[in-house]
Structure 1
Amino acid sequence: MPEIVNATTGKLESGQPSLLCKQSMFARWQYIVRRLPLLQQDLEPDMKQHQLPSDLEHMLYNEAKQLSPTYQVAKDRLIEAFEMAKLGRWIKKPLEQDQFVCEILDADPQVLFA
């Protein structure tokens, strides 16, 4: 079902966050990570520094993104490709924009993954 987003607030007309917003994506990531407890045990020795905190509710969105070296490499490659193709420079947003905790706690998975 399509979502109608208020361009001023970035939320749905109902006031709820969109399924595509960072807050919703972060909630889905936290939901999945909580159900993969064995993942941390299988980390390579050099990846131990990237372990998840025991209290995910206080983790910031930008901290979660930094835990994924694959994401960081893919983003760097995309930025390089844009520059090489002369498509312009990647516009960096203020760091504060990604410094938030997930406000969608204990959501029904049927709603999170609708």
Structure 2
Amino acid sequence: MQNKNSETISDEIIDKLSEYYQKGIDDFAVLRATDSPYTMFQIEFVMYKYFNIVLNYDRGRFGCSILNGNKYLPLENSQKWYDKADMNVFLKELDEQIKLRIPDKFLEFYGWK
């Protein structure tokens, strides 16, 4: 990962999220991106028109949280390090964690269940 900067990595992650979730995800914003003294950034986005999510990347470690006001509710994830992550597993686990918290009627209405 040392040869990739924050812009490259955040673009890769946004592309993977967009491809996996298609219409179930939108409103991407990359925040607090820096490459010095180390690579870190946040990506905020909306999932299933229901939750504001923040993905934090800090020196290779990454994960997601639900943004609830000024509090972050961390989401469980078995993939901790971006360069070793199986992104299919990461995206599937994120999907499961989010859908557990959304009413079935809402998901069915939009065709996400």
Query: Could you say whether these structures have the same fold, taking a TM-score greater than 0.5 normalized by the shorter chain as the test?
Result: no
Question: Greater strand share, 1 or 2?
Answer: 2
TM-score range, shorter chain: under 0.3
Select the structure with the greater relative contact order (CA < 8 A; seq sep ≥ 6). 1
User: Normalising by structure 1, what TM-score?
Assistant: 0.26
User: Which entry has the higher C-alpha Rg, 1 or 2?
Assistant: 1
Question: Greater helix share, 1 or 2?
Answer: 1
User: Normalising by structure 2, what TM-score?
Assistant: 0.26
